[in-house]
């Protein structure tokens, strides 16, 4: 089969589109022919060598995709079944094998592109606003990278819960995207952003700050009210400075770390949470923008597009 691979860590130039051995199924596994593969910042971290990575060179990144079962060593799934997955390695390939426990059946009214576009980011947003912090009506929520995939979904789901949302972006051009997703305010992440947030909140501070940037974590605490909550779930801008526990005590603020895999820890959880997400799409509560599509052979271009902050929607890789 053909796969997008890399033998060393570095820029997108290390990526190679080559032939690799076909996966061999064990008992309880299925083989999925990928129709759409989700590209995420985690794949950029893996390519750079600063995120967990399975296998040996040539490495195959990617953990999210959707496609059709072409071989089955499972009693639960048959050839022809439409399947998505969010936490299975080696997705950047023509075929991916996965344990039956990790398979998520795709409903008839959800296409492959939608399944590959929404699951990882949508499930992340869903646990963040329900489990990491159960957002309540009337709360003021700060969302870093609000024009990104997870940020857009957090914004929509928080608004559906009756919260007020302040969205941040480093790009002036993406502020309208934040507003288009229902945010009450869109603020550029410049040297004045903290004072703007203070003005919006009447110098009280936000109830919750969702920080996926990392390097901004200290500033997120600065704009969060006493007894407020900061949720740290990413590091697209670099590692955060260490948090002083004395500050937490003195201000009664709370820091929570977030990782989807802590919640997506069983077949039951995968199915139930995915079906909740699909239902939000059906109801129109959650709207997903059309993805930006690259051929899998154009993986280097896709990585550059995402890494350079050009995307305001999901980036998908389609096997050639």
Same domain membership, residue 275 and residue 246: no
Same domain membership, residue 163 and residue 100: no
Q: Give the residue ranges of the chain where pLDDT is below 50.
A: none
Evaluated on CA atoms 154, 157, 159, 162, the torsion sign reads negative
pLDDT of residue 237: 82
Q: Is residue 129 part of a domain?
A: no
Residue 104 contacts residue 74 (beta carbons within 8 Å):
no
Q: Is residue 45 part of a domain?
A: yes
Same domain membership, residue 103 and residue 8: yes
Same domain membership, residue 240 and residue 205: yes
Entry pTM: 0.91
Domain boundary pick from 258, 275, 300: 258
Nearest Cα residue to 32 out of 54, 75, 64, 5: 64
Same domain membership, residue 58 and residue 38: yes
Write out the chain in H/E/C secondary structure: CEEEEECCCCCHHHEEEEECCCCCCCCCEEEEEEEEEEECHHHHHHHHCCCCCCCCCCEECCCCEEEEEEEECCCCCCCCCEEEECCCCCCCECEEEEEHHHCEECCCCCCHHHHHHHHHHHHHHHHHHHHHCCCCCCCEEEECCCCCHHHHHHHHHHHHCCCEEEEEECCHHHHHHHHHCCCCEEEECCCCHHHHHHHHCCCCCEEEEEECCCCCHHHHHHCEEEEEEEEECCCCCCCCCCCCHHHHHHHCCEEEECCHHHCCCCHHHHHHHHHHHHHHHHHCCCCCCCCEEEEHHHHHHHHHHHHCCCCCCCEEEECC
Residue 165 contacts residue 152 (beta carbons within 8 Å):
no
Q: Is residue 41 part of a domain?
A: yes
Q: Indicate the pairing of strand 104-105 with strand 164-169.
A: unpaired
Same domain membership, residue 110 and residue 174: no
Q: Which domain holds residue 226?
A: 137-258
Q: Is residue 142 part of a domain?
A: yes
Same domain membership, residue 108 and residue 144: no
pLDDT of residue 211: 97
pLDDT of residue 252: 98
Q: What is the CATH number of the domain that holds 146?
A: 3.40.50.720
Evaluated on CA atoms 93, 145, 238, 304, the torsion sign reads positive
Q: Indicate the pairing of strand 140-143 with strand 164-169.
A: parallel
Report the C-alpha gap between 114 and 130 in whole angstroms: 22
Q: Is residue 128 part of a domain?
A: no
Same domain membership, residue 42 and residue 20: yes
Same domain membership, residue 284 and residue 184: no
Q: Is residue 161 part of a domain?
A: yes
Same domain membership, residue 272 and residue 230: no
Same domain membership, residue 232 and residue 197: yes
pLDDT of residue 315: 95
Region of 40 on the Ramachandran plot (φ > 0 left; ψ -120 to 50 alpha; else beta): beta
Domain boundary pick from 239, 258, 277: 258
pLDDT of residue 133: 97
Domain count, the chain: 2
Q: What is the CATH number of the domain that holds 20?
A: 3.90.180.10
């Amino acid at each position: 089969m053909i796969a997008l691979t890399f033998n060393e860590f570095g820029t997108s130039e290390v990526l190679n589109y080559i032939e690799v051995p076909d996966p061999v199924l064990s008992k309880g596994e299925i083989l999925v022919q990928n129709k759409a593969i989700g590209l995420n910042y985690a794949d950029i971290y893996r390519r750079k060598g600063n995120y967990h990575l399975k296998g040996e060179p040539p490495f195959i990144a990617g953990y999210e995709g959707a496609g059709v079962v072409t071989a089955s060593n499972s009693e639960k799934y048959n050839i022809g079944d439409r399947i998505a997955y969010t936490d299975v390695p080696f997705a950047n390939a023509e075929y991916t094998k996965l344990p039956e426990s990790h398979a998520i059946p795709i409903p008839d009214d959800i296409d492959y592109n939608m399944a590959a576009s929404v699951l990882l980011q949508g499930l992340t947003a869903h646990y963040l606003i329900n489990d990491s912090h159960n957002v309540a009506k009337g709360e003021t929520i700060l969302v870093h990278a609000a024009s990104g995939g997870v940020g857009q979904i957090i914004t929509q789901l928080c608004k559906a819960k009756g919260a007020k949302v302040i969205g941040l972006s480093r790009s002036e051009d993406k502020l309208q995207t934040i507003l288009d997703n229902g945010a009450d305010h869109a603020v550029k992440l410049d040297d004045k952003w903290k004072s703007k947030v203070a003005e919006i909140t009447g110098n009280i501070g936000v109830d919750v700050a969702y920080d996926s940037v990392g390097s901004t974590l200290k500033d997120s605490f600065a704009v969060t009210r006493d007894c407020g909550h900061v949720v740290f779930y990413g590091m697209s801008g670099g590692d955060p400075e260490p948090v002083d526990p004395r500050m937490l005590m003195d201000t009664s603020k709370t820091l929570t770390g977030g990782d989807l895999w802590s919640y997506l820890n069983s077949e039951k959880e995968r199915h139930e949470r995915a079906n909740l997400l699909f239902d939000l799409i059906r109801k129109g509560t959650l709207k997903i923008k059309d993805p930006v599509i690259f051929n899998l052979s154009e993986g280097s271009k896709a990585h550059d597009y995402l890494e350079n902050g050009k995307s305001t929607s999901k980036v998908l890789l389609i096997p050639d």
